Amino acid sequence: MTAAPVWTLLVVCAAVTASVPVQRNDPETQEHCGYESCLPVKDGMINVHLVPHTHDDVGWLKTVDQYFFGSQNNIQKAGVQYILDTVVEELQHDPKKRFIYVETAFFWKWWNRQDDSHRHQVRKLVQQGRLEFIGGGWSMNDEAVTHYQSTIDQMTWGLRRLNDTFGKCGRPRVGWQIDPFGHSREMASIFAQMGYDGLFFGRLDYQDKMNRLSSKTAEMVWQASDNLGKDAELFTHALYNHYSPPPGFCFDVLCDDEPIIDDKHSPDYNVDKRVERFLAFVQNQTKRYVTKNIILTMGGDFTYQDAKMWYSNLDKMIRYVNLRQANGSNINLLYSTPSCYLKAVNDAKLSWTTKQDDFFPYASDSHAYWTGYYTSRPTIKYFERLGNNYLQVCKQLYALTDLGPEDQVDLNALREAMGVMQHHDAITGTEKQKVAFDYARILSRGIAECNIITNTAFNKLVPLRKEYPTPVWENCLKLNVSQCAPSEESKNFVVTVYNPLAQVISPYIRFPVTGSSYKVQDAKGNSLPTQLVPIPEPVQNIPGRMSEATQELVFRAVNLKPLGFQSYFVSEVKSEESNTYISDESNASGNFGHKTYYYTTNRRGVLKTLTTHGVKFQVAQAYGYYEGAVGDNEEAINRSSGAYIFRPKSSTPKIMPNRSQFKTFKGPLVSERHEVINDWLSQIVRIYTDEQHTEVEWLVGPLPIKDGVGKEVIVKYMSELSSKGKFYTDSNGRELLERTRNARPTWHLKLEEPVAGNYYPITSRILLRDTDKKLELAVLTDRAQGGSSLKDGEMELMLHRRLLHDDAFGVGEALNETAFGKGLVARGKHYLVGGPSGNVLTVYERQLAQEKLLTPWLFFSRADKYSFESWSKTYRMEFDGVKMPLPANVHLLTLEPWKGRSLLVRLEHILEKGEDPKLSKSVTVSLKNLFSPFEIVSARETMLGANEWKKDSSRLQWKTESNSIDRHEDTHQGSLNHAEDILSVTLEPMQIRTFVVEVKYADSESCKMKKYLSELIESLLISEPSSQSNDNDPSSMVQAKQDVED
């Protein structure tokens, strides 16, 4: 064999091929999916769209695997694999039958177990529109406590799987949010930006529903953004009967309803009776909607495990109802899907009412406000937020270091785990305890798999020579309880601080240590100022904490580069060699903070006034708890507080006496007040030098229950602001919504639960504004929580819940979390920002929210065998992933490996219109020279979900009744500027733009192979020729070398 063929296999250093949204063409099956596949409706008749469906929770009463495989049926009879098996079998028998499926996590698990024959059958059904995917996310995500970044990610991953497998016929056209407990404006905006034509949901406030059904406004155009215009408008339908079939018409193994018996010789013949009852329901529903189309959801939770039962009865119902048309009936039944119903409604060409707010809070009756789950299971809510932080780090490092496709398996584990976590019974905390443990297991496994990615990436970036040993890069996921083995056990260790933002930041870094004096050196060998701060005793005593550390070491990572890292060599040294400041301890009152941002206290040390930006105003804080209501749940007035429901026994909380013990610790980097309020409640009030906000780190638990009373713990932030009954909350971390106490924007509210009925989801911040004094006070959170402003000048946030009774909405157990044999302890942070209302403060809040969502990630490497000098000569200690920081109003939302070796990039404008005179305007970014490790050579814009090219997207158009707001037809049709700079991207306020990009790496694997082979050829040129062939003939070797270089 000659060597020549080897050289022909080599590739040159070039751009990778961009992945495109797939369009599949099966030569045996012509595609008639989407609206083309809809069965015809009949003009002049009431067309009843029967939608066979199943709602499959990705965990709730059973774990994900138990639901899929059908185990533990003593808990709930549910096996998803059997649903898909029997549905596919039944659909093949009749081209008129339809079925929709929603949860890609389950479908993908089933698909991977099918042989080629079954896959071909399924593809055929999808291409003919008989099996249609609706929603399409990895799970049916919650809308109250999910962050928009995680929602976009989980939707994108589900859509990606469908697109790769089925092409355009796997692309959902409508959102199907039938079970989440209320609906956010941002979620509607996301659906619209992904190209969806409509949204169907099942739950809205009982008063709102009655009002909308009576006024025939259960269908509307949701104007889901004050900034994006028509790009964020979405036709929305509130389902008539939740997502259930008409009462008495559940033809499932899980139901006891009578089948349709059409044997006239049978004594049980019931066709006429059943048809009459069915038509009565249809007539009632018809009165509540404005077109000659209604939709009936024929299915429910885990239905169709024996699909033949459903279809045989539905066939009969369609037959016998439609036979009555010959006698003058105007009712026409047909198999349909939500998409086909939507198209029929659109064809009516009516004008629709509009909506601009959201559907929170959700109440199912006068005493059942579903606002408890905004806080339920606070530790899993924090763990999910941590998982998102690490997922972005993993995806970025993967893209920046050009890892091969073999590593995507490890990345996908965390992608999928985070997709599961967004499910409306996962992050919400409304699952059984054993399922919560399983969610934590899934997320822990995903993080562990991603550790392989980060270690591989760093070991590709960091060693200065190939032959140098590769360090281990450890995570410390328990830093929130001041526990970190590498920093506690090693005398010398390296902290590598990675910045996942595309802006320069200077964060304060802290971790537990066991020594008394330390030296921290940056990449240039400079010794940094450090400070040792005691770990409060309540933290040291957290059940399950395995640490001997009693202090934390603090230093500042100054000018941390965008998408880059800096490594710091930390060594325990003698005090005379250290630059460590031991915090001064005091229990005296006085000013607390630094020169431009500080509090004054009264004689007892209680915080009294805050001075910031040259303005002084009163501010105070108090902790308390509500006692959870207890009842038998047999009627509304006897509803218990539980995992879903927040129902306090009294509208007045029990406020903790303001007699806390406190100690103050001051130093050059940070000042802290450690306060112990009682034996289960404490906090640290922390102000870092040069920062303009207060960090409040709260610690709650174990909550006492010996008195037999469930407790729901709150914190109040009180000020002098005259807020006039108004406050503002974020929608999934993006746009702000104005709230009015004791009111709703679209109907007259009758409120019997004055506390729970005023609670709203706080995904990232809540704030007050005093328009007279022009002051603003905001609280940012580190996880989703419930909150409100129940009095002017006050904000209230719920931190933790421990309840002893179930609220009877299905989970079947009390929200009584324990760990290590005691009640669960939760620890978290609030960030208090205040000052003059206006541009500077608003921008500061937005940027702070981004910094706390994607905090710098710390990697620890043990270095006991190294000195700073030997480490710095062996390993790279600095890296810049971005050549130039993005503008202050632009956020790099996504950088991740896509298909093949292409990348997915999302940029977003983080400000709303009018928030800043300069930064709230359009901004242009050049992609071409943005990233350091690679050059973007081409980019194609997609819809937000990355499953359809932007230029190919076409949405149904809807006419609205309201013209009060000028909403332009093509508000954000901006595209890449091909005329001047092919990679110049313009963003308008709140706009997100998504691109699949081709890149050329500066030091790609192919380039490395080229260099290696060139060196090899050079060595061969001076070696002795082989006696067996002329393969090493210099002329052929020179030609081979030229081939490689070409």
Q: Which residues are catalytic?
A: 179
CA distances (Å), origin 15, targets 12, 265, 949, 1013: 9, 74, 20, 20
- Using CA atoms, how far apart are residues 736 and 723, in angstroms rounded to an integer? 16
For tokens 């957290």, the residue is: 542
Contacts of 301 (CB under 8 A, 6+ apart): 54, 55, 56, 57, 78, 254
- The count of residues in the chain is 1046
Please name which of 322, 54, 31 lies closest in space to residue 166, comparing C-alpha atoms. Answer: 31
Nearest residue to 823 (alpha-carbon basis) of 693, 983, 699, 978 = 699
> Where does residue 309 fall: left (phi above 0), alpha (psi -120 to 50 degrees), or beta otherwise?
alpha
Using only C-alpha atoms, the chain has a radius of gyration, in whole angstroms, of 31
Q: Is the dihedral of CA 450, 452, 453, 458 positive or negative?
A: positive
Spatial neighbors of 868 by CB under 8 A, at least 6 apart, are 521, 525, 569, 571
Exposure b/e, 848-870, CB count within 10 A at least 16 = b: bbbbbbbbbbbbbbbbeebebee
Angle between helices 80-91 and 104-111 (to 10 degrees): 80
Place of tokens 């939770």: 301
If one counts every other C-beta atom within 10 angstroms of the C-beta of residue 636, the result is 14
Gap between the Cα atoms of 673 and 888, Å rounded? 32
Residue whose tokens read 């063409």: 25
DSSP 152: H
Phi-psi region of 357 (alpha: psi -120 to 50; beta: other; left: phi over 0): beta
Q: Where is 122: in which H helix or E strand?
A: helix 116-127
In three-state secondary structure terms, 660 is: coil
How many CB atoms are closer than 10 A to CB 28? 8
Residue 414: CB atoms within 10 A of its CB come to 25
Q: Which residues contact 85 (CB under 8 A, 6 or more apart)?
A: none
